[in-house]
Amino acid sequence: MNHGSRPSLRRVVVFLILLVVLPTAIAGGWMQEVGTRSRLLIQAFFFPVEIVGVLLPAIVLSSGTDRPAVLRWRPARWTWIGLAIVGSLGLGGLLTYAQTLWQDATHLAPPAGLNGLLGIHSWASGILLVLGAAIVPAICEETAFRGLVMSGLERWGGRVAVVVTTLLFAAYHFEPYGIPTYLVLGAFLAWLAWRSGSILPGIAAHATNNLLALGQVNGTGDAWWWAHVWTIAPTAAALAIVAIAWLHRTLPRIESH
């Protein structure tokens, strides 16, 4: 990316400030307005939080730049997208175990109401959560973090941008119990965007991870995963290694400077 197409650091900082304020304010206002009247309306809060609180500020703050380059709204090879999905499945399987070990060691746990919020209880609820908790966040957060923020940080080099974006992505979620997932997944997504020049592989990988998590909440529990650890863990490791190695060989080489 040439220097003229990068967003200024001021815009990146403004975006990060908005990211602290807007999603929290929107979520709080939505919950206060909806109350306990409708579980479907409660589950719908993902849409305004992600679209208004994350995506729109990134689009607005990329105005006056080469927006497709800054936000990485570029096509990507289907091979890369497929490998990103396979890699995400592999990492997601491994991170399921890493998360449990991390939470046991730190005594951190997800919020008490999280499983209830992500619980599918009807076809309408299923559609809402697949879109609102899996696909829409992937689109919005990849555009914001691996698009706007990473583009602004690349003035210090691609590798620096990957590391800092990963840390900011983890901090944005502000969920200490999920640190292993946010750091590992965030690094994978940032690397994909940096090497491919597109957020499409990252969107596919991010959505895959979210769908896997949604499936775990509504289907398999921790007991099932640990009962099959000697089958799942090696398979997941093999998927992750093969996919990432293949991506490393086929993605464009980019000099970090």
In SS3 terms, the chain reads as CCHHHCCCHHHHHHHHHHHHHHHHHHHHHHHHHHCCCCHHHHHCCHHHHHHHHHHHHHHHHCCCCCHHHHCCCCCCCHHHHHHHHHHHHHHHHHHHHHHHHHHHHHCCCCCCCHHHHCCCCCHHHHHHHHHHHHHHHHHHHHHHHHHHHHHHHHHHCHHHHHHHHHHHHHHHHCCHHHHHHHHHHHHHHHHHHHHHCCCHHHHHHHHHHHHHHHHHHHCCCHHHHHHCHHHHHHHHHHHHHHHHHHHHHHCCCCCCC
User: What is residue 105's predicted lDDT score, i.e. its pLDDT?
Assistant: 96
Token match 């679209």: residue? 51
Q: Does pLDDT of 138 surpass 80? A: yes
Reported as a single tens digit per residue, the pLDDT across 211-256 is 999 999 998 778 889 999 999 999 999 999 999 999 999 999 876 4
Are 182 and 174 contacting, i.e. CB atoms less than 8 angstroms apart? Answer: no
Per-residue confidence band for 31, with pLDDT thresholds at 50, 70 and 90: confident
Q: Does pLDDT of 3 surpass 80? A: no
Q: Please report the sign of the dihedral spanned by the C-alpha atoms of residue 209, residue 252, residue 243, residue 191.
A: negative
Reported as a single tens digit per residue, the pLDDT across 103-122 is 999 999 988 888 888 999 89
Nearest Cα to 137, choosing from 75, 45, 68, 67? 45
User: What is residue 214's predicted lDDT score, i.e. its pLDDT?
Assistant: 94
